[in-house]
């Protein structure tokens, strides 16, 4: 079929960049958000670049590694990209856990930013 559609290329590149930053230095994630960005992390709502970076930087682990199992990307009618990621993560010496994460990406001034993000651990029988 040839090259992937542009939205898949952009979505895949964003996902790779996001988890590389997350796994090495979460404080650097501010570059992918704008002041209007929203994050829902395990049901908790955060709005704005500063609040999101503060939340992600204060998560209670020292080291983390993500392993992406699958990712899907779709163009939206308003020229955004919807990306869904499924994978596993390992934080410090904790057990490996599954997770689901969704991003809505928007091009602003020729840069792709995350306007909306939702994260959930894949936990069962709670």
pLDDT at 1 > cutoff 60: no
pLDDT at 125: 65
Task: Output the pTM of the full model.
Answer: 0.93
Phi-psi map region of 104: left, alpha, beta (phi>0 left; psi -120 to 50 alpha): beta
On whether the 6-121 domain is CATH 3.40.50.1950, my answer is: no
Domain segments of the chain as ranges: 6-121
Count of beta carbons in the 10 Å neighbourhood of residue 78: 6
Pairing assessment for the beta strands 111-121 and 33-41 based on DSSP bridges: parallel
Give the tens place of pLDDT for each residue, 107-117: 999 999 999 99
Helix locations, 58-110, DSSP H: none
What's the rounded Cα separation, in Å, for the pair 54 and 17?
A: 19
Give the tens place of pLDDT for each residue, 56-97: 999 999 999 999 999 999 999 999 999 999 999 999 999 999
């Amino acid at each position: 079929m040839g090259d992937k559609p542009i939205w898949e290329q952009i979505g895949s590149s964003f996902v790779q960049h996001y988890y590389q930053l997350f796994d090495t230095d979460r404080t650097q994630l501010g570059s992918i958000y704008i002041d209007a960005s929203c994050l829902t992390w395990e049901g908790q709502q955060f709005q704005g670049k500063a609040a999101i970076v503060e939340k992600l930087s204060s998560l209670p682990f020292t080291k983390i590694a993500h392993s992406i199992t699958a990712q899907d990307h779709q163009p939206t009618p308003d020229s955004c990209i919807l990306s869904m990621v499924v994978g596993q993560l390992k934080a410090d010496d904790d057990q490996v856990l599954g997770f689901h994460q969704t991003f809505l990406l928007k091009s602003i001034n020729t840069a792709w930013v995350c306007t909306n993000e939702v994260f959930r651990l894949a936990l069962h029988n709670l």
